[in-house]
Amino acid sequence: MTNHKLRRSVLFMPGDSMRKIQKATQLDADTIVMDLEDGVALNNKAAARETIVEALRTLDFGRRERLVRVNPPASGFLDDDIAVTAPSQPDGFVIPKTETAADVQTVSRKLAAVEREHGWAENSLRLVAVVETALGVMNLKEIAQSDARLDALMFGAEDLAGDIGAVRTRAGWEVFFARSAVVTAAAAYGLQAIDMIFVDFQNLDGLAEECRTARQMGYAGKMAIHPKQVEIINREFSPTPAEIERAQKLVAAHRAHQQSGTGAFAFEGKMVDMPVIRAAEHVLARARQAGLIQ
């Protein structure tokens, strides 16, 4: 998990708005997704592709990852989405409404052709799959193993709720099974998991609370739909100073006990064994990735 890119905040911007994409490059988002799907009207897809090409060629994204969300394979827009935008070499593509391994492999084959044509390294264009339908949840095992390009799974709660006929609530129990399934499948097959959007972008306290729950579940980051969400998401998906300090003490104590030939040991009144140490090492890896420690 720690070898993946830092993707705490994954900010979506409509692909047909150069102004909004440019604004995103001024924010501290880890990933910017230029959207060709839900954020763009049917009669504006072609213009959005050209805007994204211009953005990729002219804007300074700094350290931010540059992804393009294409339309689903069955939409009839996918071929043009890739043919127009891929030659400008974004870092990767987001596949919405992923339901089968074949959905991922279809996009991957198209990207392989672009890589060969331009002489780029094999699998240099990465993929992220959004799982947001009942069928996608049922096929998670196959999707997660579908292709070497696949870096991460995103969970789309809003579309899933509509697909299964659920009523969306703040508590989110209607999507909890799927939310758990996505993060578990990602962990099982060495992928990152990115949590669902928080639609009430004025409610920053609610966003922070939902981020904390997602992080406790094992998610590495969260999708953002508004610039004001980015700072809170970054904060909540970064280890706190207290968490870092405790992890450093745990790892140091573990090394000392290993040298003395002790396996499990007591730390602050609790027994500690390897799963606890691995969790502490994960905290330190995330802290280093976020630039919080050396």
Render 63-94 in DSSP notation, one character per residue: T-EEEEE---GGGS-HHHHHHHHGGG--SEEE
pLDDT surpassing 70 at residue 2 = no
pTM of the full structure: 0.93
How do residues 50-69 score in pLDDT, each as one tens digit? 999 999 999 999 999 999 99
CATH dotted code for 9-236: 3.20.20.60
How do residues 200-222 score in pLDDT, each as one tens digit? 999 999 999 999 999 999 999 99
Antiparallel, parallel or unpaired: β 150-155 and 31-35? unpaired
Which residues make beta-bridge pairs with 265?
272
Q: Under a CB-based contact definition with an 8 Å cutoff, are residues 2 and 286 in contact?
A: yes
The single residue of 16, 28, 79, 273 carrying the catalytic annotation is: 273
Residue 182's φ and ψ, nearest 5 degrees, are -65, -45
How do residues 164-210 score in pLDDT, each as one tens digit? 999 999 999 999 999 999 999 999 999 999 999 999 999 999 999 99
User: What does the block give as tokens for 36?
Assistant: 């060709």
User: Can you give the pLDDT at residue 264?
Assistant: 81
Instruction: Give the integer Cα–Cα distance in Å for 103 and 238.
Output: 32
Where, residue-wise, is CATH 3.20.20.60 in the chain?
9-236
User: Can you give the pLDDT at residue 152?
Assistant: 98
Does 195 participate in catalysis according to the annotation? no
What is the average pLDDT across 12-27?
98
